[in-house]
Amino acid sequence: MKMKNKIIKWVLIAVLVIGGTGAVIGYKMINKPHRNVEAAAAVSVAAVNIANEYETNETEANKKYLDKVLEVNGTITGVTKNQKEENVIALKGTDMSGLLCTIEGSVTKQYKVGDVITLKGICTGYLTDVILVRCAVQAK
């Protein structure tokens, strides 16, 4: 009987320690501050080049660009809104793919197809188009 109580005691202690650790990690992840994209150092790349690199070798392009702040220069092929009513600017890439850049905050200037623009944002990968989030328009 003593042995059974000891085992139950240790199992409960282990469960409490694991649960407490998980709660602390979860709290820290939820309250993690966002990266300031505007102030972050960025890798400069042309929209055509990054689209071509992803089409050619997605694995190598991910090593180079994934989760990094990029400063991308390209020609606008479309301006839309997503499901969250955020502005999305599409940039010309290759014949097969382009870049979709979700703008953070409001856009003060009206952009149109054919305008050349420089955006700074975080690359989240490739899904037939290269995806950039939390983008900000850079002044010329």
Q: Does 73 share its domain with 9?
A: no
Residue 60, Cβ density class (10 Å: 0-12 exposed, 13-18 middle, ≥19 buried) = exposed
Structure tokens at 19: 């649960």
Domain annotation covers residue 97: yes
The band of 3, judged by pLDDT with boundaries at 50, 70 and 90, is confident
* Domain span at 3: 1-32
Whether the pLDDT of residue 103 is over 90: the answer is: yes
Supply the pLDDT for residue 98: 95
Domain annotation covers residue 102: yes
Q: Does 79 share its domain with 124?
A: yes
Structure tokens at 63: 């090593």
Whether the pLDDT of residue 2 is over 90: the answer is: no
Total-model pTM? 0.76
Q: Residue 66, SS3?
A: coil
Close Cβ partners of 100 (under 8 Å, ≥ 6 residues apart): 88, 89, 90, 129, 130, 131, 132
Supply the pLDDT for residue 40: 86
Structure tokens at 102: 């979700």
Per the document, the length of the chain is 140
